[in-house]
Amino acid sequence: MNRRTHWDEVYRAKSAVSVSWYRPHLELSLELMERYSASRQAAILDIGGGASTLVDDLLGAGYEDVTVLDLAAGALAVSQQRLGEAATSLGWIAADFLQAELEAERYDLCHDRAVFHFLGTEEERELYREQVGRILRPGGVLVLATFAVDGPERCSGLPVSRYDEAGLMQVVGDRFGLVESQRHSHVTPSGQTQQLMYFVLRRSTSTDSGG
Query: Residue-wise pLDDT tens for the chain (211 aa)?
Result: 576 665 556 656 665 665 655 687 799 999 999 999 999 999 999 999 999 999 999 999 999 999 999 998 888 999 999 999 999 999 999 999 999 999 999 999 999 998 998 898 999 999 999 999 999 999 999 999 999 999 887 777 778 899 999 999 999 978 899 999 999 997 877 788 889 999 999 998 764 444 3
Is the separation of the CB atoms in 117 and 147 below 8 Å?
yes
Q: Give backbone dihedrals phi and psi of 30, rounded to 5 degrees, phi first.
A: -65, -40
Q: How far is CA 77 from the centre of its chain?
A: 17
Say what the pLDDT of residue 5 is. Answer: 66
Res 17: pLDDT: 64
Look at residue 157 in the predicted model and tell me its pLDDT: 72
Measured between alpha carbons, how far apart are the two ends of the chain, in Å? 28
Question: pLDDT at position 33, please?
Answer: 98
Its pTM stands at 0.88
Residue 10 CA, distance from chain mean position = 18
Q: So what's the pLDDT on residue 189? A: 74
The reported pLDDT for the residue numbered 165 is 96
Rg (CA), the chain: 16
- Residue 16 confidence (pLDDT): 61
Per-domain boundaries in the chain: 3-203
Task: Give CATH superfamily name and number for 3-203.
Answer: Vaccinia Virus protein VP39 (3.40.50.150)
